Amino acid sequence: MFEKFDPREGKKLEIMNENGEITPINEIPLMNDSQILEGYLVMLKTRVADEWAISLQRQGRMPTFPPTKGQEAIPLGALMALNQDDWFVIAYRELSGWLYRGIPLRNWYGYYYGNEKYAHLPTNKYHTFPPSVPIASQLLHTSGLAYAEKFKKTGRLAIGFVGDGGTSEGDFHEALNFAAVWKAGAIFIIQNNHYAISCPREKQTITPTLAEKGFAYGIPSIQVDGNDILSVYGAVKMAAERGRNGLGPTLIEAVTYRLGPHTTADDPTLYRSEEEVELWKPKDPLIRTEKYLLSKELLTSEKIEALKEEFLAFAKEEFQSVETSEDPTIEETYNYHYKELPEIMKEQLKERKERK
């Protein structure tokens, strides 16, 4: 199926267009309406939570964090196509997938608020890795997870996310090659949001697509409209089938656009034009899904407004729980380096407490 969408021939998977119109494609798994609605709710919740975090940051209540606005369809569509116990390996912009997987919003907030305890995600419950800051490094974890599950014959897959800029790191190369040689059930998703901080996609590499890089490893690779949850879902569903059938990894480039700043510390006006942003606004994954659901009368404007309020109240609550929770104790900042705190560190801890 992937051959029909060879990115080198300029082909790209697009199912739902900007107007919220769906053109199903033979053999490509299609989300049904209830799934689309379910997805929409998570996208909306993600959007509201993300915007609330920005306003918290502006109020000085939240440290620097990376907004996800405009990219919600990708992690979400991907996880909807997978099982709860497939491994979810994120970069740092995958809030929608996080929420879909059932991980509390407070854990996302709390991590960026600056407390490690919120990154304590029991793996048997969530099969999710915490945010990975060193660019592209997490793709190797993905390959390793996929190897282990193949070793254990569990049928579980591992999906790893990376940005467009991340494709330039050596780890991207090594991760894809390891997974391919192992025929491991890994799925790699590039969230091509057109920028690596200020560096435009065009300066990162001269190939017309990022997807085609997969062929260098013998990996079937496809470019999809990353602002269309149905395209993402369809591609990941097919990738998962390959993976579960022991056919090895797949690479998916999901083309999208970061509507907000890189992080709250970033000033995008330095490197991109207002016109460009305007061009992308109508392509917003949330809006087009909304259009579809409205046109199908699966949703009303009133309902949307009500949901927004509900989600905002929820986001506020979640953040409040973070803001009012205890900071780590000094012991907590020592105790998790090793199963047992070494004598040397114990003494440092003691000295530290006495030093004041």
Partner 1 sequence: MRALTLLEAVNDAYKTEMRLDPFIVTFGEDVGVEGGVFRATTGIQKEFGVERCFDSILAESGIAGTAIGMAAAGLKPVIEMQFSGFAWPAFNQIVSHIARFRNRTRGAITMPIVIRMPYGGGIRALEHHSESYEAIWGHIPGLKVVIPSTPYDAKGLLISAIRDPDPIIFMEPKRVYRSIKQEVPEGAYTIPIGKAKVISEGDSLTMVSYGAQMKEATAAVGELKKLGVSVELIDLRTIYPYDKETIINSVKKTGRFMVVHEAHQTFGVGAELITKVVEEAFLYLEAAPVRLTGPDTIFPLPRGERYFMISTDEIVKNAKNLAFYSI
Ligand X SMILES: Cc1ncc(C[n+]2csc(CCOP(=O)(O)OP(=O)(O)O)c2C)c(N)n1
Number of neighbouring beta carbons within 10 Å of residue 313: 11
Give min distance, CB of 208 to its own copies, in A.
8
| Cα–Cα distance for residue pair 288/53, rounded to 1 Å | 23
Residue with the shortest CB distance to ligand X: 163
Q: Which does 262 bind (CB under 5 to 8 A by kind): its own copies, Mg ion, ligand X, none?
A: ligand X
**DSSP string over 296-340:** TTS--HHHHHHHHHHHHHHHHHHHHHHHTSPPPPHHHHHHTSSSS
* Catalytic residue selected from 147, 258, 288, 292: 258
Query: Concatenated DSSP letters for 91-151?
Result: -S--HHHHHHTT--HHHHHHHHHT-GGGG---HHHH-BPPP--STTHHHHHHHHHHHHHHH
Closest by Cα among 55, 20, 132 to 87: 132
Question: Could you tell me the smallest distance in angstroms from the CB atom of residue 106 to its own copies?
Answer: 36
Q: Which helix (H) or strand (E) holds 233?
A: helix 229-244
- Told to check if 321 binds partner 1 by CB under 8 A, we report no
Min CB(271)–its own copies separation in Å: 17
Q: Quick one: which of 170, 329, 338, 340 contacts its own copies (CB under 8 A)? A: 170
| 342 interacts with, out of ligand X, Mg ion, its own copies, none, CB within 5 to 8 A per kind | none
Looking only at the bridges linking them, the beta strands covering 87-89 and 195-196 are unpaired
Q: How many CA atoms lie within 13 A of 52 on its CB side?
A: 23
Contact 249, 176 (CB under 8 A): yes
Residues that bind ligand X (CB under 6 A): 93, 133-135, 163-166, 191, 193, 195-197, 258, 262
Is 57 among the residues that bind partner 1 (CB under 8 A)?
A: no
Of the candidates 47, 127, 156, 262, the residue annotated as catalytic is 262
CA distance 6 to 60: 47
Which segment (49-57, 94-102, 203-211, 321-329) binds its own copies by CB under 8 A?
A: 203-211
Is there binding between residue 244 and partner 1 (CB under 8 A)?
A: no
Encode 69-103 in three state secondary structure: CCCCHHHHHHHHCCCCCCEEECCCCCHHHHHHCCC
What does the alpha-carbon distance between residue 347 and residue 38 come to, in Å, rounded to a whole number? 53
Q: Which residue has the tokens 């900071």?
A: 327
Contact window for its own copies (CB under 8 A) among 60-68, 90-98, 164-172, 279-287: 164-172
Binding Mg ion by CB under 5 A: which of 39, 163, 185, 220? Answer: 163
Q: Which of 164, 171, 228, 318 binds Mg ion (CB under 5 A)?
A: 164
Picked from partner 1, its own copies, Mg ion, none, the partner binding residue 206 (CB below 5 to 8 A depending on kind) is its own copies
Please choose, out of 29-37, 123-131, 164-172, 318-326, the segment that lies near Mg ion by the rule CB under 5 A: 164-172
Minimal CA–CA distance to 123: which of 141, 136, 140?
Answer: 141
Site membership for its own copies, residue 6 (CB under 8 A): no
Nearer to its own copies, 92 or 172 (CB): 172
Task: Verify whether residue 127 is a known catalytic residue.
Answer: no
271 counts as catalytic: yes
Q: Which is nearer to ligand X, 185 or 260 (CB)?
A: 260
Of 29 and 130, nearer to partner 1 (C-beta) is: 130
Region of 66 (left: φ > 0; alpha: ψ -120 to 50; beta: rest) is beta
* Residue of the chain from 103, 175, 240, 315 that contacts partner 1 (CB under 8 A): 175
Contact 251, 219 (CB under 8 A): yes
The option from partner 1, ligand X, Mg ion, none interacting with 292 (CB < 5 to 8 A, set by class) reads none
Footprint of its own copies (CB under 8 A): 168-174, 177, 180-181, 203-207, 212-213, 215-218
Footprint of Mg ion (CB under 5 A): 163-164, 193, 196
Positions marked catalytic: 258, 262, 271
